[in-house]
Amino acid sequence: MKGIRTREQFEAAIQGLVGLTIADVTYFEIEYQTQEPCYLHQPKIGHFLDFGVEFRMACGSYRSFLWDGTFYQYGIGLFPYAACLEVNTQRQWVVSATPEWRQIIGSSVASARIYWSWVSGSPAAKEAYRTYYPQDIELAFTCGKHIYLSASQYSDKTDSLYGMSDDILIVFDESAAKKYQVGPHAIDA
């Protein structure tokens, strides 16, 4: 997140999404040894991306949400340019026509909210030793839909998500967000 170093700067960058209209959505994945997309390994929860997601806005600008270590080594980063400037992969999937995105394409961001989480550098977990990082982002759209972006991975063993991940999860369904404690449904939200 070039130029973003403080919580206030990150909050301002996220709020800068409000009013922008999404024209296209592209996913970026690691170079797996398959020709098929891997982002749908848990479709009932959402789309899991190793690198992240890029929005091309109707005005021609880009916003990319990628795994980032600006605040802590695992969190969500927002980059005000095309994702290909940050990641190098041929595994790019334009997903604008998928059922999940079709209703959102052409809509503007109506509101944006960040859900911060923290890690502690002290067993006592005193506030002074906490490092806060952006765990989840909620985007609501003028079409009435909303999504959550989360730095999370799925555990088959426990049927749960764990944060502080180098994956970006996109949750489209509120019941999945509740079940897996994303955004406002997280324990510390």
Domain ranges for the chain: 7-30+38-185
Average pLDDT on 110-138 reads: 79
Q: What percent of the chain has pLDDT over 90?
A: 52
Condensed to tens digits (0 to 9), the pLDDT of residues 8-43 reads 998 999 999 999 999 999 999 988 888 888 898 899
Angular region, 113: left φ>0, alpha ψ -120 to 50, beta rest: beta
Condensed to tens digits (0 to 9), the pLDDT of residues 81-91 reads 888 888 888 88
CA distances from 45 to 8, 16, 52, 73, 151 (A): 30, 27, 16, 24, 14
Condensed to tens digits (0 to 9), the pLDDT of residues 126-145 reads 666 777 778 899 999 999 99
